[in-house]
Structure 1
Amino acid sequence: MNIGEFQEALFAKGREAGFAEMEIYYANGRSVSVSVLKGEIDEYKNAQTGGLSFRGLIGGKMGYSSTERLDQESIDYLLEEARSNAEVLENEEPEELFAGSERYHSVNTYSPPLIGTVPDQLIEAALSMERIALDADPRIDMVRRSATSVSESEVLIVNTKGLNCHRQHSSASASIYVLAKESKDAKETVTGGWFDFSLRSFDDIDVEAVALTGVREAVSKLGANTVPSDNYPVILRNDAATSLLSSFASVFSAESVDKGFSRLKGKLGEQVAGGNISIIDDPLMENAPTSKAFDAEGSATARHELVKDGRLLTFLHNRKTARKAGAANTANAAKGGYKGMVEVSHHNLYIAPGTDSLDEIIRGTDRGILIVELQGLHAGTNATSGSFSLAAIGYLIEHGEIVRPVNQITVSGNFFELLNGIETVGDDPRFIGSCTSPTLKVSSLSVSGA
């Protein structure tokens, strides 16, 4: 039974069983992935995941159920399970199904042929990246992982009030992770890697560039040492800045604000960052992997400026938080899978880029540290207070030039203070996930080293 047939049969039988309103949330995904090690296939996976959640109003109460199978037996189970827990669940507030938005933007994130990429092509690309990396520099001791994948997914939300939203997504990726040492007998080892993707075709990915970039990321860290503890001007390269922004993205969620988990509570309309900082959530971007036309509740998505020229304009809302706050719904409802509860999350959250390149920012720094990797983000950040203390890897800058790699340092500060201390915003955001930042130069951060 396909999803369309299943939904029709479920709603028909649900009406007979006394359900006044009903909704399904269907999510399905398929992926083919390959990883190689020492010239051999290390792992090959052809996976399919997904399922369907159901909610229905019966006897004035909303009941819930879910299944992984689309067959007649599952229809009976879903209705009985929803009826049973409707009788015992105590809902905090009455729930209403959403009839849908008036208009939805078109977002193209699906290429049907992509999932049909021949497995041999994925295997050869992974092997090729491994060979290129090993041949590129004698200091590459081992390719720990060389991997390729293609995937596709779909989400369907349909209810008896007229909502009918469907989206499909496809992507291809290639990644490499290498280990380097100065010589075969050397004890010091460093790691590095790189990743690229395409939403259209695996052929769009330059696997040679992925391999060579991964090599450069690793060997450039050889010979690293610490620096004296001090306050330094710090350049957070785009990937490090993205990691930091991602760790604190929840402070813009109305859910976090309502629970007292964000220092931005009560600051709408106020200056919360420097005038050179604008933070945007744009789910309608082209060629961004997390773009979408509707959220987990079926609300039409749109571009929203959360912070404009340093001033806080809005939080991210789903329908529930918007009602509670008396604010406009920003269509940021999210679910962690088809069984998940509806929460609030960003789609494509990013700091608006500036005009300076990374090279220009480095040249404009007389003495400072360029950070390319932050570690311990889960344990070393506190989204409520904004404080962070993170192990970091990077490079020492003197007189506008990189002079050597740096490790064994810890960088500390406060995210909210950092937003007000950004001297320069780079021109280099790299949209490879749901959160993105260009390179950021911060006037001063505490660095603990020697």
Structure 2
Amino acid sequence: MLTPQGSPPGRWWLRVLASVWIAAATGAWAAVAAEQQRYDSAGVNVVVSDLPGSTLVLSLRPRVRIGAATGEDMYLLHSVGQARVLAGGRIVVANCLPPILRWYDSTGVYITGTGREGEGPEEFVEGGCANGMFVLDDGRVETWEHSVKRLKVFDPSGVQVSSLTANTRELGPGTSALGRFAGGYLMGEHRALGSQEVIDERRARPVRRSSWRDTLVFHRFGADGSRERAIGRVAWIEWAETVLPTEIGPFPTDIVVPFAPMGMAVPWGKVVAVGEGSRAEIELIDSDGRLTTIVRWKVERVPVTDEMIRTWIEGRLASDPNRDGRYLRDARRALEAYPYPDSAHLYSRFLVGTDRRLWVRNFRPLGVRTNTWFGFDSSGALACALAVPPGAWVLDIGDDYVLLVERDELDVESVAYYDMVDPGMRQAPDLGEGRASCSAGDRRGGAR
């Protein structure tokens, strides 16, 4: 990660952002924003925020729900990869099984769809999915297929207008499209660079296996779909998950380790937000890889206790009840022997919403029933906090709504559109009260 060098912080500015304000015409509430400090350190802008004074929540019921257990195929969702809210309230959903891109109106009624398994036009590779989806200002939708490194473009009516395949050799294996700029894309190139310990039931000492690291690359497509040029590599980061490779039982297994830092990056306006969660800090870098801004917020670390580790191990083993007793014993021994960090990562995901804020999902300690997200405006200031049920996967966040994937008790998958509401006025959306939004401000993205 890039670290600023130079003299101690210079001049300080203290600015208190907006407090609660009420839009009388609509009855909407705004979140209580955080206090903010700004200073310059050797040419790097540093923004420090306190925690917001209040946390928004979701309405009691969604305004729109897309998904059903039975009925018409276009309402049956399985493994939703991406979804976004378009202009006019339409919702586009990238379903993975089968791979179909679907458009719905603002009430959740199906409009059109495109895609099926195959290699031809308007088809997605078998077993593939739109791993990335980018909505352009003119209503076009772009999809990125990770396995075949293919970018497709669809017009606002859902018709595919182009398809480009990236040069596989130059981009390396397993390339991810992490986000889009006006002039190109942020790609994560995955390359094996080192090794890491493997816990082996047959050996007293660990063995070694290759591990992966990423490099972030600004990428543009040429007219023929090959790589035109890389604008520049901007940072090295650890891959998004820390895994514990094991050789327990008949097959090797990689177990995702909780609490550890997780490298992540996303384009945000004209900059890239980069972080790994070990500190309450995000670095913003430009297309030349130059550190421009450090975004910080004041929060206490969460210690990793023995109880947290035991709870996670029991939950991990219970999720695989069909394994035989020997496997479970060996897995428990391996998991108990792992050197867990002293404190948990402070955050584990980035999302740039339709509101153009940078949203960060915080670590959820034991006993806390919601996931808290922090929303940062374009200046780098912490604008508001949002509480989301832990079982929901957030897909998009707007000025006053949240789009997420949920599963019910029968494991039926749905995409749901919820209003943001003030916790003291939590209502169902049809009652028309309590609707809230983040505090007003410049949301163009990317601290300047």
Does TM-score exceed 0.5, indicating one fold? no
TM-score w.r.t. the length of structure 2 is 0.24
Decide which structure has the larger Cα Rg and report it: 1
Q: Which has the higher contact order (CA 8 A, sep 6+)?
A: 2
TM-score w.r.t. the length of structure 1 is 0.24
Kindly indicate which of the two structures has a greater share of residues assigned to strand.
2
